[in-house]
Amino acid sequence: MEQRRGRRLVLIPLPLQGHINPMLQLAHILHSNGFSITVIHTTFNSPNPSNYPNFNFYSIQDGLSETEYTSDLLNFIIALNIGCVTPFKECLMKMLSDTSEEPIACMISDAMCYFTQSVADSIKLPRIVLRTGGVSSFVAFSAFPFLREKAYLPIQESKLEEPVAELPPLRVKDLPMFNTKEPEKYYELICRFVKETKNSLGVIFNSFEDLESSALKTLSQQFPFPIFPIGPFHKHFPEDSTSSSLSSLISQDQSCISWLDKHKPNSVVYMSFGSLAAITENEFLEIAWGLSNSKIPFLWVVRPGSICGTEWLEALPSGFMENLEGRGHIVKWAPQQEVLAHQAVGAFWTHNGWNSTLESICAGVPMICMPCFTDQKVNARYVTHVWKVGLQLEKGVERKEIEKSIRKLMEENDEGKKIRDRALKLKEDAMLCLKPSGSSCCSLEGLVNYILSL
Ligand code: UDP
């Protein structure tokens, strides 16, 4: 059925924190460019519509349970892509049949919601994809069949340090893998999400030309459609208006800011491993002792449930915090963008989720990289070896290396200074691309015209 086209966009986020934030930021960007926004979301991890009075929200019954999600991310994404097909199609058909509403120009789907491509095809609605990760990691994902052909995959323990000659500067251990008992399922999931991205009419990236020019070039040679690097999304607007606190699924502890206010510029290391990564109790203790021994003040996000086998901080030795005499502050969830923008923060110890990586780049804060899975490994390698704005913990989580890395980044020394200087320069580049003739600004103009031409 052919539809009349209007300026209404239907957005479909993957219901995970690192995907909801950029999708809703994109919604703001497009809304301010004259589009009306409808978000179709799952009941699981649904955004709060009252934070977005300018957008419409439709909830679909996904049949997903909290247990299904927390216990197994891989099978959660697969289940979502099966369970959402029918309710999503019914919801769209209802919207299309309502002639009092503005016609839909296109849908913009998270790349991981690959089920939306067949629905889009069946009702002849154009589909554009938002890839919430970086371009360089997407190039690595799209190389999976080739990597298998060349025997890089499945990964062999004995080859972890070897370079992947075709994807410099990645080593075998930097490939975007996921620790699972079902590696074949993971491989198929990646191939499927890349395939359905290729079948779309275009891809939007929360990245910018100067940051990932080489990966953008590679991708444009491989993909038959336009690519729109229009990021960094969260910098399109003044800090507060589209703050990720609006889309935060966990309430952000504002005590971080008053605690940071008491510290000197560039004196605090901020640590967070995002919304999904988990560490062992032993790693948790090594981190705690590394921090304590470094004598550098720290603000640490310990998400409840993120230390395997414990609820929150029970594993800390008794008296640990008291002995620090105010040098450490631990919270369950932080207002991360505000924290990174705070002058007291001198380094970010991160798992290198793409949002965290980009937020750190935009704040000019150098990173200590501790990637856990998938694209985080690629991002960390780019941070340390392409943009050179961070150090990676290469020997696992070990208190001596932690102490050394923190000191290297935070104290006066040549290597640390070079890294800090490059981080400030990269921040400037990130701001330039959003100026009126900057690359992301031009790409956004291209995206708006492209949507209107569909
Ligand atoms: N975040 C936050 N408070 C925290 C930790 C993270 O608001 O204490 C936000 C962060 O700003 C980012 C998102 O959660 O926008 C995490 O996304 P990312 O891609 O870095 O990691 P993921 O959670 O997907 O692993």
Number of H helices, E strands in the chain: 18, 13
For residue 363, being part of any structural domain is answered with yes
Which residue's CA lies nearest to atom 2 of ligand 1?
A: 336
pLDDT for residue 243: 66
**Alpha carbon distance 399, 330 (integer Å):** 18
Asked whether the bond before 371 is cis by omega within 30 degrees of 0, the reply is no
For residue 137, being part of any structural domain is answered with yes
For residue 84, being part of any structural domain is answered with yes
Q: At 44, which CATH number?
A: 3.40.50.2000
Q: Is 301 in the pocket of ligand 1 (CB under 6 A)?
A: yes
Q: Is 403 in the pocket of ligand 1 (CB under 6 A)?
A: no
List phi, psi (to 5°) of 101.
-90, 155
Q: Which atom of ligand 1 is nearest to the CA of 16?
A: 24
CB 339 within 8 A of CB 260: yes
State the distance from the centre of ligand 1 to the C-alpha of 363, rounded, in angstroms: 15
Which of 344, 343, 341, 391 minimizes the C-alpha distance to 366? 391
Same domain, 273 and 348: yes
**Alpha carbon distance 268, 260 (integer Å):** 8
Same domain, 208 and 274: no
Q: Is 306 in the pocket of ligand 1 (CB under 6 A)?
A: no
Which of 438, 419, 437, 420 minimizes the C-alpha distance to 429? 438
Same domain, 364 and 445: no
Which of 452, 442, 450 minimizes the C-alpha distance to 208? 442
Cα 359 → chain centroid: 10
Same domain, 326 and 185: no
For residue 3, being part of any structural domain is answered with no
- pLDDT higher than threshold 70 for residue 369: yes
Same domain, 41 and 110: yes
Number of domains in the chain: 2
State which residues form the domain around 75.
Answer: 8-231+434-453
For residue 241, being part of any structural domain is answered with no
Same domain, 321 and 352: yes
Q: How confident is the model at residue 310 (pLDDT cuts 50, 70, 90)?
A: very high
Concatenating the DSSP letter of every residue in 172-187 gives: GGGS-----S-HHHHH
For residue 247, being part of any structural domain is answered with no
Same domain, 149 and 62: yes
Number of CB atoms found within 10 A of residue 387's CB: 19
Q: Is 360 in the pocket of ligand 1 (CB under 6 A)?
A: no
Same domain, 425 and 446: no
Strands of the 328-331 sheet, one edge to the other = 328-331, 298-301, 268-272, 345-350, 367-369, 390-392
Q: Which atom of ligand 1 is nearest to the CA of 357?
A: 20
Same domain, 144 and 265: no
Which residue's CA lies nearest to atom 24 of ligand 1?
A: 18
Q: How confident is the model at residue 2 (pLDDT cuts 50, 70, 90)?
A: very low
Q: Is 352 in the pocket of ligand 1 (CB under 6 A)?
A: no
pLDDT for residue 396: 83
For residue 300, being part of any structural domain is answered with yes
Contacts of 85 (CB under 8 A, 6+ apart): 115, 118, 119
For residue 386, being part of any structural domain is answered with yes
pLDDT for residue 315: 95
Would you state the structure tokens that stand for residue 120, as one six-digit string?
């889009």
pLDDT for residue 418: 97
**Alpha carbon distance 438, 63 (integer Å):** 44
CB 129 within 8 A of CB 135: no
Q: Read off the pLDDT of residues 380-437 as tens digits, 9 standing for 90 and up.
A: 999 999 999 999 988 889 999 999 999 999 999 999 999 999 999 999 999 999 999 9
**Alpha carbon distance 79, 67 (integer Å):** 12
pLDDT for residue 222: 92
**Alpha carbon distance 213, 380 (integer Å):** 17
State the distance from the centre of ligand 1 to the C-alpha of 302, rounded, in angstroms: 12
Classify each residue of 41-53 as buried b or exposed e, where b means 16 or more C-beta atoms within 10 Å of its C-beta. bbebbbbeeeebe
Q: Hey, which residues does 39 pair with through a beta bridge?
A: 11, 57
Concatenating the DSSP letter of every residue in 393-426 gives: --SSS-HHHHHHHHHHHHSS-HHHHHHHHHHHHH
Measured on CA atoms in the order 295, 300, 302, 308, is the torsion positive or negative? negative
Q: Is 45 in the pocket of ligand 1 (CB under 6 A)?
A: no
Q: Is 333 in the pocket of ligand 1 (CB under 6 A)?
A: yes
Same domain, 378 and 445: no
Q: CA distances (Å), 142 to each of 14, 166, 321, in order?
A: 20, 13, 45
**Alpha carbon distance 276, 278 (integer Å):** 7
Same domain, 204 and 264: no
Q: How confident is the model at residue 1 (pLDDT cuts 50, 70, 90)?
A: very low
Q: How confident is the model at residue 116 (pLDDT cuts 50, 70, 90)?
A: very high
Which of 357, 361, 398, 381 minimizes the C-alpha distance to 176? 381
CB 52 within 8 A of CB 41: no
Which of 324, 167, 348 minimizes the C-alpha distance to 272? 348
Task: Over range 127-155, report the average pLDDT.
Answer: 98
Mean of the per-residue pLDDT values of the chain: 94
Q: Is 233 in the pocket of ligand 1 (CB under 6 A)?
A: no
Q: Is 363 in the pocket of ligand 1 (CB under 6 A)?
A: no
CB 363 within 8 A of CB 430: no
pLDDT for residue 9: 98
Q: What torsion do the CA atoms of 50, 51, 53, 59 make, to the nearest 10 degrees? A: -60
Q: Is 244 in the pocket of ligand 1 (CB under 6 A)?
A: yes
Same domain, 34 and 170: yes
Q: Is 353 in the pocket of ligand 1 (CB under 6 A)?
A: yes
State the distance from the centre of ligand 1 to the C-alpha of 180, rounded, in angstroms: 22
Q: Which of 14, 16, 17, 251 to mutate to test the pocket of ligand 1 (most atoms within 8 A of CB)?
A: 17
